[in-house]
Amino acid sequence: MRIVIAGGHGKIALRLERLLAERGDTPVGLIRNPDHADDLRAVGAEPVVIDLESTTVTQLTEKIMGADAVVFAAGAGPGSGAARKETVDRAAAVLTADAASLAGVRRFLMVSAIGVDEGPAPDADPVWAAYVNAKKAADDDLRGRSEQLDWTILRPGRLTDDPGTGRVRLAHRVERGPVPRDDVAAVLVALLDAPATVGHVLELVGGDTPIRDAVAAVGA
């Protein structure tokens, strides 16, 4: 399969691209900085340079055309301000969904964040509040596209760089906790192979259930 990953140089994206390449798929990573191209090639991905904050839907559609699935894994990052939460975490996600629809690519996975439907706490830091609101808005937009896209929203808990265990807790609602980025990437791969998870919003933390079993259970 040819899988386009928006935010192709992110920590989860690079892990996902490596897993896809190892199993014989063709991962295509969308990156803003051409200096990151060699990092993608090193994990077996095809780099495509495009700035999701400044491109048009037509230009992005051309990059997505011919893919079997799209994974939105872009994010403004922890060092960015509230404005970029809006332009990346919300607007770029909406733009990518628009482009996937225009390109006729139905399968769409969104990497979101646990608990965003609850909204930010009243005393939350303004940048964190902007992030939560942007993620929720992007998820809400995607949930309204069931006629155009076969979407699944994955909401991981606190991300860590610990080695993956291959065991998780995955459900429509789970208690908050950490999860290794390795395991998030592995769950995304499993979701691509699980059409029964279309239309599901799933929360993910570390746990005891093997990933394949966890994905099969939520799709049952």
Question: What amino acid positions are annotated as catalytic residues?
Answer: 131
Q: How far apart, in Å, do the first and last CA atoms of the chain sit?
A: 24
Cα 205 to chain centroid distance, Å, stands at: 15
Cα separation, 180 vs 54, in Å, equals 31
- Beta-carbon count within 10 A of 134 CB: 25
- DSSP state letter for 32: S
Ranges assigned E (strand) in the chain: 2-6, 26-31, 46-49, 69-72, 107-111, 150-156, 158-160, 167-171, 178-180, 201-206, 209-210
Q: Which residues contact 209 (CB under 8 A, 6 or more apart)?
A: 167, 168, 169, 170, 217
